[in-house]
């Protein structure tokens, strides 16, 4: 599965009734809730990385990607826009890109 395919699944499930879709429930609670859930999943992934549990990290990383796409949808940010930003950043090294950001 690609991130684009997952984004499409999120879009499809977003239009389902909330009592039939976890995605719809997350979105119905608002962008702030979707962002909080993303943060919770990210922390859980960090914990599993520190524990050095590859199986659990794999599971948590999947949750992170899913919740990232839900959060992006909650704020009407397309995955394509994120990918374009990543492509733009490839024109310079990571250190150059980081140095160019406003502080």
CATH of domain 3-78: 1.10.287.1080
Residue-by-residue pLDDT tens, the chain, 103 positions: 999 999 999 999 999 999 999 999 999 999 999 999 999 999 999 999 999 999 999 999 999 999 999 999 999 999 999 999 999 988 877 777 678 778 7
Burial of 34 (0-12, 13-18, 19+ CB in 10 A): buried
What's the confidence (pLDDT) of residue 97?
66
Residues 58 and 45: their CA atoms lie apart, in Å, by 8
Residues 45 and 57: their CA atoms lie apart, in Å, by 6
- The C-alpha R_g of the chain, in whole angstroms, comes to 16
pTM equals: 0.87
């Amino acid at each position: 599965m690609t991130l684009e395919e997952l984004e499409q699944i999120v879009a499809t499930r977003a239009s389902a009734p909330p009592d039939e879709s976890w995605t719809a429930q997350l979105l119905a609670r608002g962008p702030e809730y979707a962002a909080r859930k993303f943060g919770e999943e990210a922390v859980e992934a960090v914990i599993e990385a520190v524990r050095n549990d590859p199986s659990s990290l794999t599971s948590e990383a999947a949750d992170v990607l899913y919740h990232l796409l839900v959060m992006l949808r909650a704020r009407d940010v397309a995955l394509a826009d994120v990918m374009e930003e990543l492509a733009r950043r490839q024109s310079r090294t990571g250190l150059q890109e980081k140095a160019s950001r406003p502080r």
